[in-house]
Structure 1
Amino acid sequence: MPYLLVRGLKQSATASLLLLLTACADAPAQPLAAEPVSAPAATANPVAMSASSPTPLISFDEWRMLLRSDAIAAGIDAALFDRTFAGITLNPKVVSADNSQPEFSRPVWEYIDGAVSVSRIAQGRLLKAQYRPTLKAIRSAYAVDHEVLIAIWGMESNYGSNIGSHDVIRSLATLAYDGRRQVFWRSQLLAALQILQAGDGPAQGLIGSWAGAMGQTQFMPTTFNEHAVDFDGDGHRDLWKSTPDALASAAHYLQASGWENGQTWGFEVNLPQGFDYALADPEVRRSLTDWRSLGINPTRTIDADEQSLATLFLPAGHRGPAFLLLNNFRSILKYNNSTAYALAIGLLSDALDGNPGVQAAWPRNDRQLGRSERIELQELLTRKGYEPGPADGIIGANTRKAVRTFQQSLGLPADGYPSHELLQRLR
């Protein structure tokens, strides 16, 4: 689901946040995550923030009146606001979901197994054939390949069968009043009111995930306002019931994110013996020709420009599969800033096109670090002077760099992978 960075905001003493209505679609404000980012989304949030929401300083009724003033000043019809907020109450389950910090997350191979399942591939191929004329029209309009759109559709809502059941206005009001990122949630709430005022969305109201992600392609309200399109020509941008609108909107978003039509997202590769795993760093970008000169070769025939720049990705360390990632992988990351998510989208789109799955074996016997262990690893790295960044449990670029440096000091393969064995050595 697309993520947004709310930029250039100044909060006045009167809590007026009108500039939030102009928030634009961009990359998320958190570091690149190894596991699926899911806030806003339908599952627990791995993004490290405060453990709980700040205590509100005013009552919900007082807060709603301030919001009403801001909304009306921003052009929202007063009668629409009053109708929309009639009977709206706080949803404690939403606050609980926002504060969730799961101790354990699935290994990347389990995530891939679920995302690129036999049933999802089979259903996706049927829908690809069923919607071929629509997909061709979308490709003509936005220059985005069929398979990636079907893959996103399948990942975000299981092809429209699971679009959420929460009242989006109630969820966003709860989070804007009592959530951890109140400025962000308030921007989404005001954008949702704009959607209603424009006459978009279902007649029964905006329905979505607990965090306000909406429709078959799970757009946040600000992303909806920026990128949703009326592709079926009925005068409404309906991502809930109109599959053409949903797929075309996803294509519009990917187009804006730099998608290169006809180009691959990346591919699995074989690494030579004695390879320098320190090159598996997102900051190291080389041409495919340069990677080949190091003995790195695709596991299957690939049609790609040999001068294209790519990064080497080892999602499970040096004992697991290796991938070269091209620019389209970065475009998928704009949709959801998670390498596991983007890899799943890439592999699912390949499967929809008839290509084989991952060839190398995953290290399925590896013991995964829990969140508290990841925090401990970061703290121990800091004590040893390796600068992994904040001890937040997120294995981002800084932590991987610190892990890589520590591995090099021990003469280990410097793949930047935070294994349980590495934590034991740090201890």
Structure 2
Amino acid sequence: MRNVMKAAASLVALTVVAGAAQAATCGNSAKGFQGFIKEFRKEAAAAGVSERGLSLLDGVEYQPAIIKKDRSQSVFSLSFLKFQDRMVSDYRIKEGRAIIKRNKKLFDAIEERYGVPGEVLVAFWAFETDFGKNLGDFPTVPSLATLAWDCRRPERFREQLLGALRLYDNGDLDRDDMHGAWAGEIGLTQFLPKEYFENAVDFDGDGHRNLIKSIPDAMASSAALLVKHGWQANQPYIEEVTVPADLPWDQADIAIQHPRSQWVKWGVKGAHGKLKADKFPASLLLPMGKDGPAFLAYQNFTDAYLLWNESLVYSLTAAYLATRIAGADKLDPGRAQVNALSYEQIIELQKILAAKGLDVGEVDGKLGRATRQAVKQEQTRLGWPADSYPTVEFLAALKRG
């Protein structure tokens, strides 16, 4: 394996190539794709990728099935309760606990070095590949090349394509290893190639950073990435709470923090024990609005979890699974039935808000930060509790004007 210390020097080259590629054209079909590959090969070579790495581009063809996958991620439009019901199973809780017990020395060593507890890492492992049972069989380079040529997010995937070439060039992965999820993620916890190249660690000491076959490497590398994202040792990530029938709902926002003492003063209580009334900062997270489940979200969640995956429903459910593996009780679904929007209704909502001049981000059927902020503005205008969550009833009111 070539010297991994080259990684630091290559970061500048990664930036240069990504910047150059962004200036190139893009396309939404196979037309022009081979020209893009030819130009990308030149740019990657200029960044220091050798013929070994460049050889992964030989014979690469456009993959229309990958674009179809990219346009149909409606699972992230599910409500939090539906998503967690699908993802947090008794099997995953029990298996997660068993894995930590069987590998106690490993997880203790990782936590000692990185400050990330085992249940957090194992929950991501469960979510990403079902404990390694489903690593994916999409060819990494053709998938990334297709997404790098596509006009939706070319700048993101061009740096990932370069990262994939570097992983092979560096000797971290063999050619047969270059397959995984449809969007290019690789290994037990599904690292994108750039993050793999920059952050993976050889925790088992065999001289290779193998996130596909080595559990120690995969778990420790996941911890290292969370630390890079801002994880703080010995600090909480989420805590389930209950909320009163009324409070300043506009303060329930992932971007707003108050001391726990203020939340207690407003009537927020611990769901499974007394909530500390101290100065520790926390955001009140209502994934389904004022009538659904409630959590206090701490910096380890707002920073590390949401940088691992920007989908709020995904990150919150992963964190919730971690708490269950650690021994927490099943969550309280809230005080009342919440009529959540479907994927199609979220699209309709986003179009209405955008037509009003509000920033919803991409019209994609997902309740991301921008859409939630736009909802909050309209709730305030209409005199609704500004909890940032749109229900069927809210959409009907919005359509009435």
Q: What is the TM-score when the length of structure 1 is the normalising length?
A: 0.81
Question: What displacement does 1:232 show?
Answer: 0.5
Residues 80 and 308 of structure 1: is their aligned pair in 2 closer, same or farther, counting only changes over 3 Å? same
Residues 297 and 104 of structure 1: is their aligned pair in 2 closer, same or farther, counting only changes over 3 Å? closer
Query: What does residue 77 of structure 1 align with?
Result: 50
Query: What does residue 118 of structure 2 align with?
Result: 146
Alignment of 1:336 onto 2:309: yes
Structure 2 unaligned residues grouped into runs of 5+: 1-12, 21-25
Of residues 113, 117, 122 in structure 1, which corresponds to 2:94? Answer: 122
Work out the CA distance in 1 between the residues paired with 2:276 and 2:86: 28
Question: What displacement does 1:302 show?
Answer: 6.3
Alignment of 1:403 onto 2:400: no
Alignment of 1:88 onto 2:85: no
Residues 260 and 379 of structure 1: is their aligned pair in 2 closer, same or farther, counting only changes over 3 Å? same
Of residues 133, 153, 176 in structure 2, which corresponds to 1:204? Answer: 176
Secondary structure of 1:94's aligned partner:
helix
Query: What does residue 32 of structure 2 align with?
Result: 58
Work out the CA distance in 1 between the residues paired with 2:264 and 2:162: 50
Report which structure shows greater RCO (CA 8 Å, sep ≥6). 1
Question: What displacement does 1:337 show?
Answer: 0.7
Correspondence list, 1:20-35, <5 A: 20=17
Higher helix proportion (structure 1 or 2):
2
Asked if structure 2 preserves the Cα contact closer than 8 Å seen for 1:316 and 1:362, the reply is no
Work out the CA distance in 2 between the residues paired with 1:391 and 1:77: 37
Residues 365 and 110 of structure 1: is their aligned pair in 2 closer, same or farther, counting only changes over 3 Å? same
Of residues 222, 227, 234 in structure 2, which corresponds to 1:255? Answer: 227
Of residues 348, 351, 356 in structure 1, which corresponds to 2:321? Answer: 348
Asked if structure 2 preserves the Cα contact closer than 8 Å seen for 1:167 and 1:205, the reply is no
Residues 266 and 305 of structure 1: is their aligned pair in 2 closer, same or farther, counting only changes over 3 Å? farther
Residues 201 and 363 of structure 1: is their aligned pair in 2 closer, same or farther, counting only changes over 3 Å? farther
Work out the CA distance in 1 between the residues paired with 2:276 and 2:310: 24
Residues 234 and 383 of structure 1: is their aligned pair in 2 closer, same or farther, counting only changes over 3 Å? closer
Of residues 12, 16, 19 in structure 2, which corresponds to 1:19? Answer: 16
Asked if structure 2 preserves the Cα contact closer than 8 Å seen for 1:269 and 1:322, the reply is yes
Correspondence list, 1:312-327, <5 A: 312-327=284-299
Secondary structure of 2:91's aligned partner:
helix
Correspondence list, 1:355-370, <5 A: 355-361=328-334, 366-370=339-343
Asked if structure 1 preserves the Cα contact closer than 8 Å seen for 2:18 and 2:155, the reply is no
Work out the CA distance in 2 between the residues paired with 1:219 and 1:65: 26
Q: CA offsets, 1:352-375, max 9 Å, x none?
A: 11110212448666242333x334
- What letter is aligned with 1:276? P
Alignment of 1:132 onto 2:104: yes
Query: What does residue 287 of structure 1 align with?
Result: 259
Query: What does residue 173 of structure 1 align with?
Result: 145
Greater CA drift, 279-288 or 172-181: 172-181
Correspondence list, 1:377-396, <5 A: 377-381=349-353, 387-389=358-360, 392=363, 393-396=365-368
Work out the CA distance in 1 between the residues paired with 2:334 and 2:246: 19
Question: What displacement does 1:184 show?
Answer: 2.3
Question: What displacement does 1:293 show?
Answer: 1.5
Q: What is the TM-score when the length of structure 2 is the normalising length?
A: 0.86
Greater CA drift, 349-358 or 305-314: 305-314
Q: CA offsets, 1:163-215, max 9 Å, x none?
A: 11111112112222345322322211111111011111246231211110010
Give the % identical residues: 35
Asked if structure 1 preserves the Cα contact closer than 8 Å seen for 2:18 and 2:158, the reply is no
Secondary structure of 2:176's aligned partner:
coil
Greater CA drift, 267-276 or 188-197: 267-276
Structure 1 unaligned residues grouped into runs of 5+: 1-15, 24-51
Q: CA offsets, 1:323-357, max 9 Å, x none?
A: 11111112111100121122112211111111102
Secondary structure of 1:324's aligned partner:
strand
Residues 310 and 160 of structure 1: is their aligned pair in 2 closer, same or farther, counting only changes over 3 Å? same
Count of residue pairs the alignment pairs up: 381
- What letter is aligned with 1:234? D
Q: CA offsets, 1:98-124, max 9 Å, x none?
A: 233649932221111122110110111
Question: What displacement does 1:21 show?
Answer: 6.1
Alignment of 1:270 onto 2:242: yes
Work out the CA distance in 1 between the residues paired with 2:33 and 2:222: 38
Question: What displacement does 1:231 show?
Answer: 0.5
Asked if structure 1 preserves the Cα contact closer than 8 Å seen for 2:17 and 2:44, the reply is no
Query: What does residue 243 of structure 1 align with?
Result: 215
